Amino acid sequence: MTAAQTHMSVKAIAERWNCDLTAVYRQVKARKLPALRVGNIIRIPIAAIEEFEAANTTVPDSSRPVRRRTSNQKAAS
């Protein structure tokens, strides 16, 4: 098994999450995502990415009705 199969680059994670590279780097710096560092190269284990996603994915509360603003309601300032 190669590192390419077990780890992802910061760029690949940013593309997967549709976010900026700095958002991923912040998670690594905050130690919320473990990272393998070899020189300037940072790789994150896929298992850690999946755990992070599971822990940080929210599910809408289906017991609460969703209120939608109608066109005649004014936006709150």
Single pTM value for the model: 0.69
Distance CA 49, CA 67 (A): 33
Rg (CA), the chain: 18
Produce one character per residue of 39-67: b if its CB has 16 or more CB atoms within 10 Å, e if not: eeebbbbeebbeebeeeeeeeeeeeeeee
Q: What are the residues facing 7 on neighbouring strands?
A: 45
Q: Read off the pLDDT of residues 24-77 as tens digits, 9 standing for 90 and up.
A: 999 999 999 999 999 999 999 999 999 999 999 988 776 666 677 776 666 555
